[in-house]
A = this chain, B = another copy of it.
Amino acid sequence: MKEQNKGQEISTEQAIMAAAEAEFLEKGYAATKTTGIARRAGVTHAMLHYYYRTKENLFEMVFRQKAQKLIGSFSVVVDGDLPFLEKVKTAIETHFDFIAANPQLPMFILNEIVRDPQRLEICKEMIGPVLPGVMARIQHEIDREAAQGTIRRVEAHQLLLDIVSLNVFFFSAQPLVQILAASIGKDFSEFLEARKRENVQVIMDRLTV
A residues bordering B, Cβ < 8 Å? Answer: 26-31, 104, 107, 110-111, 113-115, 120, 123-124, 127-128, 131-132, 135, 155, 157-158, 160-162, 164-166, 168-170, 172-177, 179-180, 183-184, 194-195, 198, 201-202, 205-206
Asked if A28 and B115 sit within 8 Å, CB to CB, the answer is yes
14 other A-B residue contacts (CB within 8 Å) besides A123-B179, A124-B179: A26-B115, A27-B115, A28-B115, A30-B30, A107-B111, A107-B114, A111-B111, A113-B176, A131-B179, A161-B170, A161-B177, A165-B166, A166-B166, A172-B172
Give the shortest distance, in Å, between A209 (CB) and chain B (any CB).
Answer: 10
Chain B residues with CB below 8 A from A115, complex form: 26-28, 31
Chain B residues with CB below 8 A from A127, complex form: 176, 179
Residue in B31, B110, B183 whose beta carbon sits within 8 Å of that of A30 in the complex: B31
Look across to chain B and name the residue whose beta carbon is closest to the beta carbon of A165: B169
Q: How far is the CA of A170 from the CA of B162 in the complex (A)?
A: 9
Give the shortest distance, in Å, between A197 (CB) and chain B (any CB).
Answer: 9
Residue in B135, B158, B169, B202 whose beta carbon sits within 8 Å of that of A169 in the complex: B169
Residue in B26, B176, B180, B195 whose beta carbon sits within 8 Å of that of A110 in the complex: B176
Asked if A27 and B30 sit within 8 Å, CB to CB, the answer is yes
Pull 10 A–B residue pairs with CB atoms less than 8 Å apart, ordered by A. Answer: A27-B30, A29-B31, A30-B31, A124-B179, A128-B179, A157-B180, A161-B177, A162-B166, A168-B169, A168-B173
Asked if B183 and A132 sit within 8 Å, CB to CB, the answer is yes
Chain B residues with CB below 8 A from A110, complex form: 107, 172-173, 176
Q: How far is the CA of A110 from the CA of B110 in the complex (A)?
A: 12
Q: How far is the CA of A174 from the CA of B132 in the complex (A)?
A: 18
Knowing A131-B180, A179-B124, the reply to whether A161 touches B113 (Cβ < 8 A) is no
Asked if B123 and A158 sit within 8 Å, CB to CB, the answer is no
Asked if A28 and B27 sit within 8 Å, CB to CB, the answer is no
Asked if B176 and A123 sit within 8 Å, CB to CB, the answer is yes
